[in-house]
Copies of this chain bind each other. A is one copy, B any other.
């Protein structure tokens, strides 16, 4: 696991230039563990073994660190989607769409505070690499839509719009599930996985006659 070169790189630990990534990593862990309210610059710094002021060497303010943690969140989500694509290689484009959809919602339920942070209001101009990461994530959804297109299964809509519609549905479902806002009389005894499958299928087939 640890090669010599890795060790040498590790020699340049945060005391010599890698504090930035350490802070992002610790922030990510703390966000997963304790939620957004407990996430303070001072606690992150303390856990990194550094004074509460050191972060300002690498981030303009707390918001900049949060943006970096959000960016890391998009990387994690991207990994989850890639894994779903990997595990569904033999299946049909439609089944792969459902697999990716379940992966999206599963990520959302596993890392609710991350999702909230990722879709918080970070200005794209101020945090361009965050915007970039979110676009890369969307691109993974688009690739599945492209498979449907190549299989000749798409109705007459711009392919990018199809991808966006899938995205807004997945994201809306994720947020509403996390907020606990699906009434019991609708939810019944369906798991999130079943809800994703059924709702995405309804969208594929259309709501009206």
The residues of A with any CB-CB pair to B shorter than 8 Å are 94, 112, 116, 119-124, 131, 134-135, 138, 148, 152-155, 157, 160-176, 178-183, 185-186, 198-199, 202-209
Complex Cα spacing A186 to B178, Å? 27
With A124-B180, A154-B209, A161-B199 in contact, do A119 and B185 touch (Cβ < 8 Å)?
Answer: no
A208 partner residues in chain B, CB cutoff 8 A: 94, 148, 153-155, 204-205
Q: Give chain B nearest CB distance to A78 CB in angstroms.
A: 14
Which of B164, B173, B181 touches A186 (beta carbons < 8 Å)?
A: B164
Are B209 and A206 in contact (CB-based, < 8 A)?
Answer: no
Stoichiometry (number of copies): 2
Complex Cα spacing A198 to B174, Å? 22
Are B203 and A207 in contact (CB-based, < 8 A)?
Answer: yes
A209 partner residues in chain B, CB cutoff 8 A: 152-155
Which of B119, B157, B199, B202 touches A176 (beta carbons < 8 Å)?
A: B119
The 7 A-B residue pairs with the shortest CB-CB distance, nearest first, are A206-B206, A172-B172, A168-B172, A171-B172, A168-B173, A119-B179, A204-B208
Are B131 and A161 in contact (CB-based, < 8 A)?
Answer: no
Q: Give chain B nearest CB distance to A166 CB in angstroms.
A: 8
A94 partner residues in chain B, CB cutoff 8 A: 208
Known contacts A120-B179, A203-B207; 16 additional CB pairs below 8 A are: A94-B208, A116-B120, A119-B178, A121-B180, A131-B180, A131-B181, A154-B208, A154-B209, A165-B203, A166-B207, A168-B168, A168-B169, A168-B199, A171-B171, A171-B172, A205-B206
